[in-house]
């Protein structure tokens, strides 16, 4: 019995000493009682003396019989995790991590994919760990972009990281791109629409007194304005305007005058031109005191009525009629303009108003070649032939001498004839 036991133990011991190391273990020495586990990153098959290293893109834990391919987010020797800015998916090569493209990023280790930049951000380079915010004046309305877009004219962004540009409000404008704020419309201008590149001018008859106006206000009655006006002006003295929003004021008609508010016309409390009689009177407004204005009888030889406009003339518009001469020294204390008109001996020599011309303020003058009181004298170089002055010439001199000689002969004949008749007692 004891012999059999010894034989069994010997056989068992011999068997144990000859067992091979199991997969995942190794043993370099002979006659060892146990095997060592393969280290991380290595593996072994059955009965291996050494463990083998895993290929690039594969890994193993302690005591592994084989290597496993790197999982998503890791690659290379030992399947290290991809650093921020890189990634690897299951379908990508296990040997190396891939850089994130422009417009993308990864912020953590072991990323299986890259994220797209969000709205209002961008990534202009590869391998980014984060996206940059669009600065003021720019925006990005799409994901995964590599740059921002400048705000167009009429728009702006006042803060970073914006997904869109805002429209300029009414009363404001932006006339260039990439604006961080909109400009105010100046006084005298306005803008009633959003997102505009310029302001509009207030029209004549309107105004805007403040900056950033969205409308222009109409001028009140009795006032007016021109283009781009910040305030309306009161109508000038003597003018009125009854409508709102007027570009100019008007003159009262038919002798009326503006009211104190200059919004209507009324009959004055003093004499006006319409109070004067047609043809027979003129309107004397020469005195600075308008309460002393009056209607005066039209002088003989003067024209006091405007035939074309059918109105009595003011004294300063009164003109001598054709054939009449204004006496220069006939002034009175209320006017420096001569007031007496005398009929000329030679009608056509005195130039003035005529029915044919119809011009109310016709020129008063002497006909060419005449001068002096009543235009009765001829100027030097002219001589009067009966009723008019004509320019002197060599030919005309001989004719005049001949006329004188003939006249003298005729006078002599008439005288002689008269004497003879008397002696013979008949005529």
Over pLDDT 70: what percentage of the chain? 89
Task: Decide if pLDDT at 286 tops 80.
Answer: yes
Task: Decide if pLDDT at 254 tops 80.
Answer: no
Rg of the chain on CA atoms, in Å: 61
Confirm whether pTM is higher than 0.85: no
Task: Decide if pLDDT at 112 tops 60.
Answer: yes
Task: Decide if pLDDT at 17 tops 90.
Answer: no
For CA atoms 48, 54, 55, 58, give the dihedral sign.
positive
Question: Backbone phi, then psi, for 416, in 5-degree steps?
Answer: -60, -45
Burial call 220-258: b when 16+ CB within 10 Å, e when fewer: bbbbbbbebbbebeebeeebbbbeebbeebeebeebbbb
* Assigned token pair, 206: 């309107």
d(CA 198, CA 185): 8
Task: Decide if pLDDT at 331 tops 50.
Answer: yes
Give the model confidence (pLDDT) of 218-242 as tens digits.
999 999 999 999 999 999 999 999 9
Between β-strands 172-173 and 183-184, what pairing exists: parallel, antiparallel or unpaired? antiparallel
Task: Decide if pLDDT at 250 tops 60.
Answer: yes
| pLDDT, greater one: 153 or 253 | 153
| 56 within 8 A of 62, measured Cβ to Cβ | no
Give the model confidence (pLDDT) of 342-401 as tens digits.
999 999 999 999 887 767 677 889 999 999 999 999 999 998 887 889 898 765 555 666
Per-residue confidence (pLDDT) for residue 270, from 0 to 100:
87
Residue range 244-249: mean pLDDT, rounded: 95
Give the model confidence (pLDDT) of 29-67 as tens digits.
887 788 988 988 888 888 788 898 898 889 888 888 888
Task: Decide if pLDDT at 187 tops 80.
Answer: yes
Task: Decide if pLDDT at 296 tops 90.
Answer: yes
Residue range 65-85: mean pLDDT, rounded: 90
How would you write the chain as a 3-class SS string?
A: CHHHHHHHHHHHHHHHHCCCCCCCEECCCCCCCCCEECCCCEECCCCECCCEECCCCEECCCCECCCEECCCCEECHHHEECCCCEECCCCCCCCCCEECCCCEECCCCCCCCCEECCCCEECCCCCCCCCEECCCCEECCCCCCCCCEECCCCEECCCCCCCCCEECCCCEECCCCCCCCCEECCCCEECCCCCCCCCEECCCCEECCCCCCCCCEECCCCEECCCCCCCCEECCCCEECCCCCCCCCEECCCCCEECCCCCCEECCCCCCHHHCCCCCEEEECCCCCHHHCEEEECCCCEECEECCCCEECEHHHCEEECCEEECCCCCECCECCCCCEEECCCHHHEECECCCCCCCCCCCEECCCEECHHHCEECCCEEEECCEEEECCHHHHHHHHHHHHHHHHHHHHHHHHHHHHHHCCCC
Residue range 18-23: mean pLDDT, rounded: 81
* Assigned token pair, 231: 């305030």
Residue range 182-186: mean pLDDT, rounded: 97
d(CA 423, CA 309): 72
Residue range 142-166: mean pLDDT, rounded: 96
Mean pLDDT of the chain: 88
Task: Decide if pLDDT at 123 tops 70.
Answer: yes
Give the model confidence (pLDDT) of 269-282 as tens digits.
888 888 899 999 99
Q: For residue 360, which of 318, 394, 403, 401 has the smallest C-alpha distance?
A: 318
* Assigned token pair, 109: 């280790």
Confidence class for position 256, pLDDT limits 50, 70, 90: confident
Per-residue confidence (pLDDT) for residue 28, from 0 to 100:
83
* Assigned token pair, 295: 């209607």
- Ramachandran class of 413: left when φ > 0, alpha when ψ lies in -120 to 50, beta otherwise: alpha
Each domain of the chain, given as residue ranges in start order, spans: 1-69, 272-392, 401-427
For the chain, the first-to-last Cα distance in angstroms comes to 226
Residue range 192-211: mean pLDDT, rounded: 96
What are the distances in angstroms from CA 156 to CA 21, 150, 165, 422? 75, 9, 5, 126
Using CB atoms within 10 A of its CB, is residue 351 exposed (0-12), middle (13-18) or buried (19+)? buried
d(CA 255, CA 49): 133
Give the model confidence (pLDDT) of 397-418 as tens digits.
556 666 667 767 877 777 666 6
């Amino acid at each position: 019995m004891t012999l059999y036991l010894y034989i069994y133990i010997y056989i068992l011991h011999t068997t144990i000493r000859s067992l091979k190391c199991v997969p995942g273990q190794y043993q370099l020495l002979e006659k060892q009682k146990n095997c060592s586990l393969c280290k991380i990153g290595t593996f072994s098959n059955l009965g291996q003396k050494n463990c083998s290293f895993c290929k690039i893109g594969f890994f193993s834990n302690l005591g592994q019989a084989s290597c496993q391919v790197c999982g998503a987010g890791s690659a290379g020797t030992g399947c290290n995790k991809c650093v921020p800015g890189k990634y690897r998916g299951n379908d990508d090569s296990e040997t190396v991590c891939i850089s994130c493209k422009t417009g993308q990023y990864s912020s953590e280790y072991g990323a299986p994919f890259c994220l797209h930049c969000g709205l209002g951000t961008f990534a202009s380079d590869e391998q980014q760990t984060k996206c940059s915010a669009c600065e003021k004046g720019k925006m990005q309305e799409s994901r995964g972009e590599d740059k921002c877009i400048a705000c167009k004219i009429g728009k702006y962004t006042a803060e970073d990281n914006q997904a869109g540009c805002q429209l300029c409000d009414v009363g404001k404008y932006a006339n260039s791109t990439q604006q961080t704020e909109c400009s105010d419309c100046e006084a005298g201008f306005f803008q009633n629409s959003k997102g505009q590149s310029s302001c509009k001018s207030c029209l004549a008859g309107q105004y805007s007194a403040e900056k950033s106006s969205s409308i222009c206000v109409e001028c009140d009655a009795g006032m007016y304005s021109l283009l781009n006006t910040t305030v309306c002006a009161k109508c000038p003295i003597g003018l009125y305007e009854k409508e709102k929003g007027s570009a100019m004021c008007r003159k009262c008609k038919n002798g009326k005058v503006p009211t104190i508010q200059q919004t209507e016309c009324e009959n004055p409390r003093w004499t006006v031109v319409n109070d004067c009689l047609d043809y027979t009177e003129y309107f004397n407004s020469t005195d600075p005191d308008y309460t002393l204005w009056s209607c005066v009888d039209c002088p003989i030889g003067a024209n006091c009525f405007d035939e074309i406009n059918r109105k009595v003339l003011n004294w300063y518009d009164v003109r001598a009629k054709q054939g009449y001469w204004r006496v220069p020294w006939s002034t009175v204390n209320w006017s420096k303009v001569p007031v007496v008109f005398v009929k000329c001996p030679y009608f056509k020599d005195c130039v003035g108003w005529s029915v044919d011309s119809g011009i109310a303020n016709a020129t008063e003058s002497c006909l060419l070649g005449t001068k002096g009181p009543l235009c009765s004298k001829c100027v030097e170089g002219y001589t009067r032939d009966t009723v008019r002055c004509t320019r002197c010439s060599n030919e005309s001199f001989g004719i005049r001498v001949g006329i004188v000689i003939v006249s003298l002969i005729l006078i002599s004949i008439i005288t002689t004839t008269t004497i003879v008749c008397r002696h013979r007692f008949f005529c």
